[in-house]
Amino acid sequence: KQEVTQIPAALSVPEGENLVLNCSFTDSAIYNLQWFRQDPGKGLTSLLLIQSSQREQTSGRLNASLDKSSGRSTLYIAASQPGDSATYLCATSGGSYIPTFGRGTSLIVHP
Amino acid sequence: EAGVAQSPRYKIIEKRQSVAFWCNPISGHATLYWYQQILGQGPKLLIQFQNNGVVDDSQLPKDRFSAERLKGVDSTLKIQPAKLEDSAVYLCASSLFHTMNTEAFFGQGTRLTVV
């Protein structure tokens, strides 16, 4: 059974800081790993999808890396802004188990 | 491109009542997922469809939950009878294919409160 852990559970930073959110998973036989953003009372918005054969993906100020062998992914947010405040979730998909989410990292960026 | 549509957005019911949620996935997406998200937790998969067939329903409480996907497009999730612990956000998602390197897109969710 796949288990996904996200650290830290919560983070509060001043505007402008560069951030690192961590996601670890126990079964490295994944097809892909996806990072999502969830605003309060809303659904999930896909941020980045990393295929199992890829090492990283970038979109604007976001960069996600994947190290399958160590069971880790990192979401890097550059020059954080108050609008980045949300919960960030990672999820893995694989052939032998169902799509599995972590509990998320709740981020607050204050002006 | 229209996103995943869900209704209703909010529902309040008493315990032991029944409730149904509706989902319309992105056009052309073969795979549809229903997730349950309890406050403070990540989404938990309840059921996954590939077209109108069930891929996985191992975490669906089948004594009270049921789901169907009509003609491989729209889907409904039903709870009967509801319990207090069913209070959660129910999220529907869709993707082009089953598992293989395709992005999942989520609806806004239905927030269920059981009192």
Report residue A80's pLDDT band, with 50, 70 and 90 as the boundaries: very high
Contact assignment for B109 to A43 by CB distance below 8 Å: yes
User: Can you tell me which residue has the tokens 């002006």?
Assistant: A111
Report which of B77, B105, B101 is spatially closest to residue B11, judged by C-alpha positions: B77
Strand duo A100-101 + A86-93: pairing: antiparallel
Average pLDDT, chain A: 93
By the CB < 8 Å criterion, does B1 face chain A? no
Confidence of residue A40 (pLDDT cuts 50, 70, 90): confident
Chain B interface includes A40 (CB < 8 A): no
Ranges of beta strands (E only) in chain A are: 4-7, 10-14, 19-25, 32-38, 44-51, 56-59, 62-67, 72-77, 86-93, 100-101, 105-110
Q: Does A89 touch chain B (CB under 8 A)?
A: yes
For the stretch A1-23, pLDDT in tens is 889 999 999 999 999 999 999 99
What is the C-alpha to C-alpha distance for residues A93 and A1, in angstroms, rounded to an integer? 12
Confidence band, pLDDT 50/70/90 cuts, at residue B108: very high
Q: Chain B: nearest CA to A32, how far in angstroms?
A: 6
**pLDDT at res. A98:** 76
DSSP output for A66-81: EETTTTEEEEEE-S--
Residues of B with CB below 8 A from A43's CB?
4, 6, 91, 106-109
Q: Tell me, what's the pLDDT at B8?
A: 97
CA B38 to CA B60: how far, in whole Å?
14
Interval B47-101: pLDDT, tens: 999 988 998 999 999 999 999 998 889 999 999 999 999 999 999 999 987 655 6
Q: Tally the C-alpha atoms within 13 A of residue A59's C-alpha that lie toward its C-beta.
A: 10
What would the mean pLDDT of A13-35 be, rounded to a whole number?
Answer: 94
Residue A46 sits at the chain B interface (C-beta within 8 Å): yes
Least confident range of A58-72, A91-105, B92-106? B92-106
Q: Which of B1, B45, B56, B60 to mutate to test the interface with A (most CBs of A within 10 A)?
A: B45
How far apart are the C-alpha atoms of A103 and A89, rounded to whole Å?
7
Instruction: Give the pLDDT confidence score for residue B100 in this predicted structure.
Output: 55
- In whole angstroms, give the CA distance from residue B112 to residue B18: 11
Outline where chain B has alpha helix (H). none
Instruction: Report, as an integer, the average pLDDT of A30-58.
Output: 92
